[in-house]
Chains A and B, each alone.
Chain A
């Protein structure tokens, strides 16, 4: 089984599919055995629900709502986090003064603020974007600060000796040396954006995939809830894979120093 000499890739793909099939079979057997609560849907029901979600306008509309909130919040966080991070990371005084505050913000579970934010902004897309941006800000900020801080001492000395103008220094020295770290922060925060957007929708009346999961569960449409959960996972997985690919391609020049 593991020593298939030809078409190794095809055989691996086959085994992976087999593994998924085994998992699904186990799921189905557990359902039949009755150990799970009776409302848990079986595999055929979930597959049917996934299929019907594909053709439902509601599904695509919720997906679009979730994605647009996640992407807007993420973009805001990337813009704010990069700028703030470069400034804080390259000025030592600021760096020291903000470190505790940033540590605090980073370890703050932003979703706990939901009831407060809902009171202030209502269960709107604007509220969702705010919460997403607040959650995504920290990884970008922390990574950017780290990247800006971590400059080669000899490069800094050279730049100082040649009295490189500030703008040129920023564009050609600070930014390139911080880019690998910034991009890691951007990638991490993209996954967080989806997670938080769905979380916000689960907890509030804001429309989107998460809201649909809660609604389906409340209507006892368990097959549909699992189908939406499946799509939520699929989107998160797709985004993570995509960004890793893009990052790998953009930062190929940096591979020998980065990791």
Chain B
């Protein structure tokens, strides 16, 4: 059910937004022809609105008298300053380490659990309600409990991210395992492929597109939990930078931090799509979408 959305999301963001089917969009011939003037118009068409939004914000906020809405110029100036003196760099490396380690734990646990549950029907049916319950627990609500119990260090934040990100990976892995073609399954059985090989070379590749889709869902969840865990209680990180500057009424810094987290979220999701295209190149080429 969620898959529709995921596919929609991926093709909407990666393949651009023409109303043509994907095949014509990717054809080399069209790309050749659209060089030069057309290419320029294309870029212009895709970017003019961003420039307009930026300009409107810039000029509308320039004369702002509300101290909570600083001029965009001031926001960017403080962003540039803190990027230059390493304040943001150290915070970002702390936050992104938490995100990376948490996500990695979630992916490993989700794939292993998903492979096991996908292959064992009785176990899957028994724990199904439990999984759906845990998935529905609001991730942000875990933050006070885990941080309250284990302290404000790095470990508890990583656990919270891992816990929150695990469920989409797990559920998608189960779906992926279930979508392995019965014929292929039978072949594997008939030829008595050993279980290790069967998992590694038959089930895992077949489930990979779904698993990657699950990780794509988990990524924004992880970013949100990362920020929330630091906004709640921390002494380091991007969330701490935002919280600290808001507590000390450094309004431009607060805005700068919040916008920076947004930009990082955007960059990570674009990077993810690039990596996905590479890993799943065979899958997209096969036209399975």
Binding site for B on A (CB under 8 A): 1-2, 12, 15-16, 18-20, 23, 36-37, 39-40, 92-93, 95-101, 103-104, 106-109, 111-116, 118-120, 139, 142-143, 145-146, 149, 151, 180-181, 184-185, 187-188, 191, 194-196, 198-199, 202-203, 209-210, 213-214, 217-218, 222, 225-226, 228-229, 232-234, 236-237, 240-241, 244, 258-259
B50–A100 contact, CB under 8 A?
yes
Binding site for A on B (CB under 8 A): 1-5, 8-9, 11-13, 16-19, 42, 45-50, 53, 68-69, 122, 125-130, 132-145, 148-150, 220, 223-224, 227-228, 231-232, 238-239, 242-243, 246, 251, 254-255, 257-258, 261-262, 265-266, 268-270
With contacts defined as CB atoms under 8 Å apart, how many contacts are there between chain A and chain B in the complex? 217
A108–B266 contact, CB under 8 A?
yes
B266–A203 contact, CB under 8 A?
no
Contacts known (A37-B150, A101-B50, A259-B3); A232 close to B144, Cβ less than 8 A: no
Residue of B nearest to A121 (CB): B68
CA distance A213 to B143 in the complex (A): 10
Contacts known (A92-B18, A107-B265); A184 close to B254, Cβ less than 8 A: no
CA distance A97 to B137 in the complex (A): 37
Chain A residues with CB under 8 Å of B49's CB are: 97-98, 100-101
Chain B residues with CB under 8 Å of A15's CB are: 122, 125-126
B8–A233 contact, CB under 8 A?
no
A99–B17 contact, CB under 8 A?
yes
In the complex, given contacts A40-B149, A202-B140, A232-B137, what are 14 additional A-B residue pairs having Cβ atoms less than 8 angstroms apart?
Answer: A16-B127, A16-B128, A16-B130, A92-B18, A107-B266, A108-B266, A109-B262, A146-B11, A184-B8, A195-B140, A202-B232, A203-B231, A232-B138, A259-B4
A120–B140 contact, CB under 8 A?
no
Chain A residues with CB under 8 Å of B3's CB are: 259
Contacts known (A100-B47, A112-B227, A113-B258); A233 close to B134, Cβ less than 8 A: yes
Chain A residues with CB under 8 Å of B258's CB are: 112-113, 115-116
Overall SS of chain B's interface: helix
Contacts known (A15-B126, A114-B231); A237 close to B254, Cβ less than 8 A: no
Shortest CB distance A166–B (Å)? 18
Shortest CB distance B263–A (Å)? 8
Chain B residues with CB under 8 Å of A228's CB are: 141
Residue of B nearest to A180 (CB): B4
B136–A191 contact, CB under 8 A?
yes
A111–B228 contact, CB under 8 A?
yes
A149–B137 contact, CB under 8 A?
no
Which residue of A139, A218, A233 contacts B5 across the interface (Cβ within 8 Å)? A139
